Amino acid sequence: MDTVPLNTAKVSEFSSSSRLLMLQSLVPVATNLVSSQLEAFTSRLTDALFKISDQTLQPEEAANSFQACQLLKRNQTTFYRLLASQISTMLMKEVGAINTRKRLKDNHDIKDISLVTFEEMENKVLTNNLTKSLEVNSAEKLVELNCRIGLVMKRTPITVSQNPFRPEIFVNAVLQAWMELESTTVTPHLIIRIMQPDLFLNLSSVYQGLNDALAERGIVVDTDAVKRENKKRHAPLKSEDLDSRDPYLQNKLRNIFYPQASKERNQSGGVGAVAQDGAGQSGPLQSWLPAGAGGAVDTVTIDRQFFDYLTGMQKQIQQNQLVQPEDRSHLRRLTQEASAGELTHIDQNTIELLARIFDYVFSDDSIPEEIKSLIGQLQIPTLKVALLDKDFFFKENHPARVLIDTLAKSSVLLGNDATSEDPLYQMIEGIVDRVQQDFDQQIELFSDVVADLEAFLKSEEAQTEQAISEPVEQALKQEKMRLAREFAENDVAIRTDTGEVAGFVEEFLRKQWIRILTIAHNVKEEKPNALENALRTMDDLIWSLKPKNTSEERKELVSKLPAMLTLLNAWLNAIKWDEPDRVLFFSKLAERHAAIARAPLELSPRRQLEIAVNIAQRASEKRLNRHFVDQNEQEVDEWGKMVEGLERGVWFDFTTTAGVTNRFKLAWVSPKRTRYIFTNRQGHDSFSISREELLAQLRNGDATIVSAESIVDRALVEALRDPPN
């Protein structure tokens, strides 16, 4: 997506009062966006309550949920009004308190927990869980809104808790509105319990609307830069994913390192072996463990002789320039080397755990063998890091851990046809050589080489952006035309669903006039009168075929017909509809107009009733058919959800009918997510496919997503399934 640089000068011109007024002007925007969803939201909530009343085995719960369901059915309009009022009031209060957030929060927290009931505590937990889920579902738009509001308030960046439009406010507004509607203390807990993100309001669309409103007011941010800068903010989500695989991961790591560390300190008094260093100084090397329960950082010592032995091995591997597959597990052999005889239990566990991590890396089929060999040369430097700093195991953003992850992810770009002539391969090879040659105890070296690799990848990505500029332009045109077609179909459906349009005219509108409306919608920005003219002509055509029961109506029909027919023919000439069906259509049209003119002015009550019943029946059938179609279109399977969540930079393997697999990157997603452009790493061989085509290939297995998960994270979870003793 093209980005616009931040207009900092313009933001700085806002006074304190004008900044507050700007945020206050967003409250009606948010309220209106929510109001448009209230009918569907209430329907989902009603269905959920009825489902509980029908399926629960607890009589009291069944009665409460059924009563709540009936109450909501009878008072939908009241609930709409209460909820819209609550949202507006709460948002305005939050906006007004944005400068006093800390004071308000402090006062709010001064509550005697001994006075809180178990149900209140449970409600708070459930509300917090829902709020967090909504934050995750709306993360991208919410982060962008955080940045825009931060710019307005000169506080860039603000956190979610400082955002006056955060999900928590909407959740509390719903609960407060419900409590005003129904005064008992039982059902609010029921409402909180059944509320899930898919049942709740669509806050992503609300945040998109607020971002658009701020953009119109001149608060512009580089959204791509926002995504990059806020990756660290989403790190906890990644930890939660790890915890879902192994919720005891941190405990397992602490059990490996902390008890043994305490034992070693008790036995040796905290003193390690002493060796002469290269500078003529003697003393042990210190290894750092993360803070324990008491908040203090634990330290253990490393045998200097063993550390020097590793440094010598590191240089030897660098000179050989290659680690053969059979040598990839040589870390474990270190525990049996003569020079490693004095290893502590912690050191032995460190070596074993790191060996398991590298075993996992070497077994990953998505990493080319050539890159595995290069990563294998980092075993000794990584072991030295892990001995010096146990944060390697505890922290996902540890520099050495990030390097291995980045190298593994970069190998995805190479695919299985990696060659030594590839610039990326040469870059990776140079990084490995630099670590082998320069690393001793300077862990920041890993951060430096990661920065170099990321800069290289960024330069390649910039070349890709330039290479796909023309396909992007073409895809935008295709999406614009597709949206114009959808608008045109909706324009026709609104008119034909009434049941009053004659069958041959409905067929004409759906086959021919939709083409005209599509063109009109597509050019409405340049020629707004064209759409107005096309819609008016369609409405005049429909009106001309309705019964004319007074002489004045028939006179009006006679006066309008020439101009209407002229416009019809002009538009049909524009789409070059010269088929025999055109002659037949105008022949039927003339016959129907003549019949209308000859019909009796006064219709019998029976005839009027027949006409009304036929119209109502046709309208009902069309509404049912449309509802059925809409329901089918709204059903999204797992593949649909996957495609909806795709972001630029994801890699796919596409398999041709001949069985050949090629790797391409998702380089661009259209604004409405209807078209996707894929390209290879250099930006060549790009192709554009629709959402439907991509879904079909995913379902058939002709397209598969290449995993971008941290390989060290996955390896660590796997390595700790059976922790070292």
For the segment 34-71, what is each residue's pLDDT rounded down to a tens digit? 888 888 888 888 888 888 877 777 777 778 888 888 88
**Residue 185, C-beta contacts closer than 8 angstroms, at least 6 positions apart:** none
pLDDT (0 to 100) of residue 144: 86
d(CA 597, CA 578): 28
pLDDT (0 to 100) of residue 233: 42
DSSP state of 440: S
d(CA 25, CA 214): 10
Contact assessment for residue 269 and residue 303, using Cβ atoms and an 8 Å cutoff: no
Domain ranges in the chain are 8-230, 249-268+296-462, 471-614
User: What is the torsional sign of CA 46, 52, 53, 54?
Assistant: positive
Give the three-state DSSP class for 299: strand
DSSP state of 512: I
Summarised one tens digit per residue, pLDDT across range 284-339 is 555 555 544 334 444 555 667 777 778 777 777 766 654 454 455 567 777 766 45
Distances (CA, A) of 629 to 36, 156, 281, 526, 634: 21, 46, 80, 33, 9
Distances (CA, A) of 434 to 399, 437, 445, 446, 543: 15, 5, 9, 10, 79
d(CA 38, CA 277): 72
pLDDT (0 to 100) of residue 167: 92
The pTM of this model reads: 0.47
d(CA 589, CA 22): 55
Q: Which segments in the chain show pLDDT lower than 70? A: 1-17, 99-122, 155-157, 183-188, 222-248, 258-303, 318-330, 336-342, 415-418, 600-637, 708, 725
pLDDT (0 to 100) of residue 516: 93
pLDDT (0 to 100) of residue 276: 34
Torsions phi, psi for 293 (to 5 deg): -65, -30
